[in-house]
Amino acid sequence: MPELPEVETVRRGLQPVLEGARLTRVEARRPDLRFPFPERFSERLTGKTITALGRRAKYLTMHVQDGPVLICHLGMSGSFRIETDDDSETPGVFHHERSKSTAHDHVVFDVVAADGARSRVIFNDPRRFGFMLFAEGSPETHPMLAGLGVEPTGNTLDGVLLASLLKGRGSPLKAALLDQKLIAGLGNIYVSEALWRAGLSPLREAGTIARPGKKARQQSERLAEAIRSVISDAIAAGGSSLRDYMHTDGSLGYFQHSFAVYDREGEPCQKPGCGGHIERVVQSGRSTFYCRTCQS
């Protein structure tokens, strides 16, 4: 699944084309993706002006004037591409190229900008695990978004808040960080990276960094800073560039080349003076990568 940085870079790629533009035509080429499209899907969007393109955790939100909010999830293989009057090709150099077959083009948005420029935004999803749903009113009350935790961006997530979220939890630290009701949008890759930066083992009990005392307080502060920085760095670098993910312009992100532990089993730890090696263990059916020498 695309993680938060991937979804945010998709949002930023779509924003200049969609925000302020009018939807002149919306076409759903099949009745469903992971879920059926909402009733009167095309009718309720056509003719509307897009006022804002947002993101909550791993979900994109498209706000339209006097209409519903469109909630979109990319699923495992979903992507958007932008076609304009001047360029009908998708630019970019691909490391793992995604499908361009029109058989997988499931939703087409034709838009016209305030200056008259016309564009077409196409949602392509070979595995059809993505979805598009409507929220009536605030998207925060929609079942898909209600109950999501704090965003791991900005300064809201600090050591004090993180400690309060993890206090008394006996589950492994990595598992707790993946709980979307605590912190929204964190995924397997960036949790592994953040824990390495903070020098904390993914196997330790989550509540141990919320105990009274200076040591635990420092650990929670280090981890909060590591989470914020790894997400910020990934967004700046353009996501993780894993298979089945690309930007809206067709190019791939390159943060995977900066991974310190993820998918580096057996390699020397990159932390200066550590001398350890990256190990892989399985937690809840998912791969965890860490260095037992410098992460405790």
Contact 218, 210 (CB under 8 A): no
Domain boundary residue among 112, 139, 166?
139
Mean pLDDT on 17-28: 97
Catalytic residue chosen out of the listed positions 2, 5, 38, 68: 2
Instruction: Classify 18 as helix, strand or coil.
Output: helix
Contact 63, 50 (CB under 8 A): yes
Q: Kindly report, residue by residue over 103-135, the tens digit of the pLDDT.
A: 899 999 999 999 999 999 999 999 999 999 999
- Report the CATH number at residue 173: 1.10.8.50
171 and 99 belong to one structural domain: no
243 is in an annotated binding site: no
Work out the pLDDT band at 241, boundaries 50, 70, 90.
very low
Work out the pLDDT band at 93, boundaries 50, 70, 90.
very low
Q: Among this protein's residues, is 221 annotated catalytic?
A: no
Q: Is 225 exposed, middle or buried (0-12, 13-18, 19+ CB in 10 A)?
A: middle
127 is in an annotated binding site: yes
115 and 189 belong to one structural domain: no
Q: Kindly report, residue by residue over 186-199, the tens digit of the pLDDT.
A: 999 999 999 999 99
DSSP string, 27-46: EESSSBSSSBPPTTHHHHHT
CA distance 209 to 54: 33
169 is in an annotated binding site: yes
254 pLDDT more than 70: no
82 and 18 belong to one structural domain: yes
Q: Among this protein's residues, is 2 annotated catalytic?
A: yes
Q: Among this protein's residues, is 98 annotated catalytic?
A: no
Q: Among this protein's residues, is 97 annotated catalytic?
A: no
CA distance 267 to 286: 19
Catalytic residue chosen out of the listed positions 25, 128, 286, 292: 286
Percent of the chain with pLDDT over 90: 75
**CA proximity to 121, closest of 31, 45, 57:** 45
97 and 206 belong to one structural domain: no
Residues in the chain: 296
Q: Kindly report, residue by residue over 196-222, the tens digit of the pLDDT.
A: 999 999 999 999 999 999 999 999 999
Mean pLDDT on 238-244: 51
Catalytic residue chosen out of the listed positions 11, 58, 98, 228: 58
